[in-house]
Amino acid sequence: MPELLSAYSFTELDRLPLLRERLKVRAGELGLVGTVLVAAEGINFSLGGRGEALDAWVACLAREHGIDRLVTNRDAVESVPFLRLKVRIRPEIITFDPALRPGQAATGQALAPQDWHALLQREDVQLVDTRNHYEYEIGSFKGAVDPDIDAFTDFRDWALNHLEADRPVAMFCTGGVRCEKASAWLLANGYDQVFQLEGGILNYLREIPAQESLWQGECYVFDDRIAVDHDLKPTGRLICAACSRPAEGLGADGMPPIGVQRDCGLCGQHFDAGRLAGLRERVRQIGLARARGQSHIGPQAQPEATQRNQDCSST
């Protein structure tokens, strides 16, 4: 069974174009697919493939590039939720504030899932979901505050206006990387009791039994699984073919309801004739791919022979 490994590390990196090419070659040799982001501040990736290939990738990062302090989430999956490999250079591995470097600045106290679970029993804690609103809507921790933001960069202004500096702040996100930036920013701005969930929601779901859990609903993930349940299994949730966000009222193909004036019946977004034609063609292509037993934009069960061709022993 293939596995999915998502991880990040805030560590100083240089010669990024060369690093990108070396990582792309190595991941390709190992038959891995997914996305790798590199920046001067570190690395953030989500890759799928055979377990031994992922082991070799992690060993390569440590041995050849000095990246050995990864915060990871790793699980077996029925099919890898990516079709291709992308390795990109970015100003930040998570867009927030280029001047803020968690690898150098103090960050919040990272709590293991059991310790986080205990912290949430306290009444004095300000529990904050640092994710975007559409992620919060389909699932969050019981009692968590929704900043109602559409971009992570909006969290800064929201925090200054809504969080009390003299009360403990407990923050969480999907895998932990957003909280590294947000907690460092809070500490730099006068908040001295800041906690974050180590490994994020995915780690909590993995470690805390469902019958004891304080998590409610589904967890949005940034791959073609869309959302997972408490057992980290895909829920079958649809995303809008137009805006790529989860929404109720979509067609089985992800097509939003478009009225005679070419307005979306869910969000009111207006489509000109050309864009609407492109959207309908995209939905048609997705349908054709599914009819072939494939996925147009996400996981695709590869024939056994193809998997063998991609297999590569570690060096």
Alpha-carbon span 290 to 307, nearest angstrom? 20
CA neighbor of 44 nearest in space, from 83, 16, 15, 70: 70
Residue 300 CA, distance from chain mean position: 19
173 catalytically annotated: yes
Q: 60, 173, 219, 264: which one is catalytic?
A: 173
Q: How does strand 169-172 pair with strand 227-228?
A: unpaired
- Cβ-Cβ contacts under 8 Å for 25 (sequence gap 6 or more): none
Buried b (16+ CB within 10 A) or exposed e, 96-128: beeebbbbebebbebbebeebbebbeeeebbbb
Q: Provide φ and ψ at 116, rounded to 5°.
A: -60, -45
Alpha-carbon span 96 to 277, nearest angstrom? 35
- Cβ-Cβ contacts under 8 Å for 208 (sequence gap 6 or more): 113, 114, 117, 214, 215
Taking residue 243's Cβ as centre, other Cβ atoms within 10 Å add up to 14
Residue by residue, DSSP assigns 11-29 as -----HHHHHHHHHHHHHH
Residue 270, both tokens: 């207006």
Catalytic (active-site) positions: 173
